[in-house]
């Protein structure tokens, strides 16, 4: 073959070997083409910079991040979602628990146990003082161990010990607190800080709780005839104003535009480590500046798209996920748009890193509750057109469903999942989670997959639904029926 014709022949052969023409519409092709790795890198590198000091809730860095997100919504020409503001104000109280006068003593015959305040975590709404009282003692070893009757617990101090840990232990402890003891004192890791958040308009006070991270506590608590003395100081409270940041792109259809697809992520992280050598800033690049960058990239792409989807799209970033899903819980309790008209929620976390602890995740995308709703099917179909494999992790997909920002809306009955690339990655919740470690070309493909998924949901007359055949969706489907007046 003539050497001058070889390049032309090679090019023609490459074209011939390409797959058939993409089923993407021209409008979808334009939407996806507007999402670029460089834009994503720009958003992440600012939000995860040292200047923002880890975006703790509350903090100055968190406020700066909120202003940055709102400025981008303004730049895109999106409508404010909270009246004439991009900020949904959320009045909270920061509660600080003083420990200088804390004491806890157990006595059983000749045995005495005195708790070390440094190994105790306390949550209380008011001061509490007990002297040599007989507590209700509960030992939980197995998941099916019964709790004492409510009448035996209500208004009384409870000592909880046993081998039950993890999610089952947490659920048992929560069930005990719902029986309204005067205080629940439990053995376990005392991870809680001396500060916590509470919504300012919260209802009746919760029972006091104390966690003791000392195995000697459980040993003495198990002795017959144990007596309890306890002193807890009243907490100090300071009002704080927190904010979700939200914008809306109205849909193009006169009727379907009155329904909403929510695209969300949390913009907070865990702040600065209180002690240690070297870098102590938890920058939170993948968790979750990458999710915020995803929402911003989607907002820009949809705002510039040649045609709008028929449904309206809400772009929102939450505060306080790391402290207990506070922002998403606040929105679910105080929605800016009717929940009954909210057809679905795609929440985004861990979108940038491909170095999952279990192995590389380049070219893949996953989600919590992957087979709980038809959203998993939508993600899979979009991935086929963008060259990204959507898959379910057999343990994490279900396990993380209740601990991400999709949960509050799912609990209200709305089909909601959290989309991610990696589940757990090196430097998770540590200072090493920095913007330079994200795989931005892969993130571009993942965000384009999310964009196509969102576009087809928002443009379809058929709303996503819970998959009733999956027994794990029963409570969520029941909430959906209640939300829509179906009983």
CATH number at 125 reads 3.50.30
Distance CA 202, CA 199 (A): 5
Minimal CA–CA distance to 59: which of 87, 94, 95? 94
Is residue 362 domain-shared with residue 429, that is, in the same domain? yes
* Count of Cβ atoms closer than 10 Å to residue 132 Cβ: 9
Give me the domain span that covers residue 79.
26-92+240-483
What integer pLDDT is reported at residue 486 of this predicted model? 86
Burial of residue 421 (CB within 10 Å: 0-12, 13-18, 19+) is: buried
Q: Is 428 helix (H, G, I), strand (E, B) or coil?
A: coil
Q: With pLDDT > 90 as the criterion, what percentage of the chain qualifies?
A: 74
Q: Residue 251: is its pLDDT beyond 90?
A: yes
Number of domains present in the structure of the chain: 2
The predicted-structure confidence for 287-315, as pLDDT tens digits, reads as follows 999 999 999 999 999 999 989 999 999 99
Distance CA 421, CA 219 (A): 44
Burial of residue 84 (CB within 10 Å: 0-12, 13-18, 19+) is: exposed
Helices (H), 126-214: 150-153, 166-177
What integer pLDDT is reported at residue 204 of this predicted model? 57
Q: Residue 6: is its pLDDT beyond 60?
A: no
Is residue 81 domain-shared with residue 216, that is, in the same domain? no
The length of the chain in residues reads 487
CA angle 267, 268, 273 (to 5 degrees): 150
What integer pLDDT is reported at residue 274 of this predicted model? 86
Per-residue pLDDT averaged across 107-126, rounded?
A: 91
Q: Does some domain include residue 164?
A: yes
Helices (H), 4-36: 6-17, 26-33
Tokens of 151: 């009448």
**DSSP notation for 34-86:** T--HHHHHHHHHHHTSGGGTT--SSSHHHHHHHHHHHHHHHHHTPEESBTTBS
Q: Does some domain include residue 314?
A: yes
Distance CA 390, CA 360 (A): 14
What integer pLDDT is reported at residue 213 of this predicted model? 87
What integer pLDDT is reported at residue 15 of this predicted model? 34
Tokens of 108: 């059983």
Is residue 65 domain-shared with residue 201, that is, in the same domain? no
Q: Give this prediction's pTM.
A: 0.84
CATH number of the domain where residue 380 is located: 3.40.630.10
Is residue 337 domain-shared with residue 381, that is, in the same domain? yes
The predicted-structure confidence for 333-382, as pLDDT tens digits, reads as follows 999 999 999 999 999 999 999 999 999 999 999 999 999 999 999 999 99
What integer pLDDT is reported at residue 21 of this predicted model? 39
Peptide bond into 365 cis (omega under 30): no
Residue pair 304/451 in contact by the 8 Å Cβ criterion: no
Strand-pairing partners, residue 314, are: 248, 262
Q: With pLDDT > 70 as the criterion, what percentage of the chain qualifies?
A: 92
Distance CA 438, CA 187 (A): 39
Boundary-marking domain end, from 197, 213, 234: 234
Q: Does some domain include residue 8?
A: no
Distance CA 232, CA 99 (A): 8
Boundary-marking domain end, from 234, 260, 295: 234
Boundary-marking domain end, from 182, 212, 234: 234
């Amino acid at each position: 073959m003539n050497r001058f014709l070889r390049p032309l022949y090679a090019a023609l052969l490459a074209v011939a070997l390409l797959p058939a023409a993409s089923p993407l519409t021209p409008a979808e092709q334009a939407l996806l083409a507007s999402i670029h790795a460089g834009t994503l890198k720009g958003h992440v590198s600012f939000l995860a910079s040292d200047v923002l000091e880890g975006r703790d809730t509350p903090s100055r860095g968190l406020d700066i991040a909120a202003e940055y997100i709102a400025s981008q919504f303004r730049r895109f020409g999106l409508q404010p979602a909270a009246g004439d503001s991009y900020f949904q104000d959320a009045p909270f109280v920061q509660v600080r628990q003083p420990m200088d006068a804390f004491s806890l003593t157990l006595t059983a015959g000749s045995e005495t146990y005195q708790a070390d305040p440094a190994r105790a975590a306390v949550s209380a709404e008011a001061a509490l003082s007990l002297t040599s009282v007989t507590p209700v003692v509960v030992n939980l070893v197995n998941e099916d161990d019964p709790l004492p009757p409510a009448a035996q617990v209500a208004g009384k101090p409870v000592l909880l010990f046993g081998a039950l840990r993890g999610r089952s232990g947490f659920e048992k402890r929560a069930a005990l607190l719902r029986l309204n003891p005067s205080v629940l004192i439990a053995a376990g890791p005392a991870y809680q800080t001396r500060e916590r958040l509470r919504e300012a308009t919260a209802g009746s006070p919760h029972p006091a709780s104390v966690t003791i991270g000392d195995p000697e506590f459980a040993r003495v608590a198990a002795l017959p005839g144990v007596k309890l003395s306890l002193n807890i100081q009243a907490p100090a409270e300071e009002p704080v104003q927190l904010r979700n940041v939200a914008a809306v792109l109205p849909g193009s259809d006169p009727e379907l535009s009155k329904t909403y697809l929510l695209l969300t992520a949390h913009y907070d992280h865990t702040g600065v480590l209180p002690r240690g050598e070297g870098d102590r800033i938890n920058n939170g690049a993948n968790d979750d500046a990458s999710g915020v960058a995803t929402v911003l990239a989607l907002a820009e792409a949809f705002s510039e798209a040649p045609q709008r989807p028929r449904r309206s799209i809400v772009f929102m970033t939450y505060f306080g996920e790391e402290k207990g899903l506070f922002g998403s819980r606040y929105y679910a309790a105080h929605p800016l748009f009717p929940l009954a008209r909210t057809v679905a929620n795609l929440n985004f976390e861990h979108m940038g890193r491909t170095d999952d602890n279990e192995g590389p995740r380049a070219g893949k995308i996953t989600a919590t509750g992957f087979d709980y709703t038809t959203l998993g099917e939508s993600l899979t179909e979009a991935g086929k057109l963008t060259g990204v494999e959507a898959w379910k992790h057999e343990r994490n997909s279900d396990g993380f469903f209740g601990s991400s920002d999709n949960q509050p809306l799912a609990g209200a009955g709305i089909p909601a999942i959290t989309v991610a690339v990696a589940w757990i990655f090196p430097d998770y919740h540590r200072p090493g989670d920095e913007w330079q470690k994200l795989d931005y070309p892969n993130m571009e493909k993942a965000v384009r997959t999310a964009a196509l998924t969102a576009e087809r949901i928002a443009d379809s007359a058929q709303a996503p639904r819970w998959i009733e055949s999956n027994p794990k969706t029963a409570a969520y489907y029941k909430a959906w029926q209640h939300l829509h007046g179906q009983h």
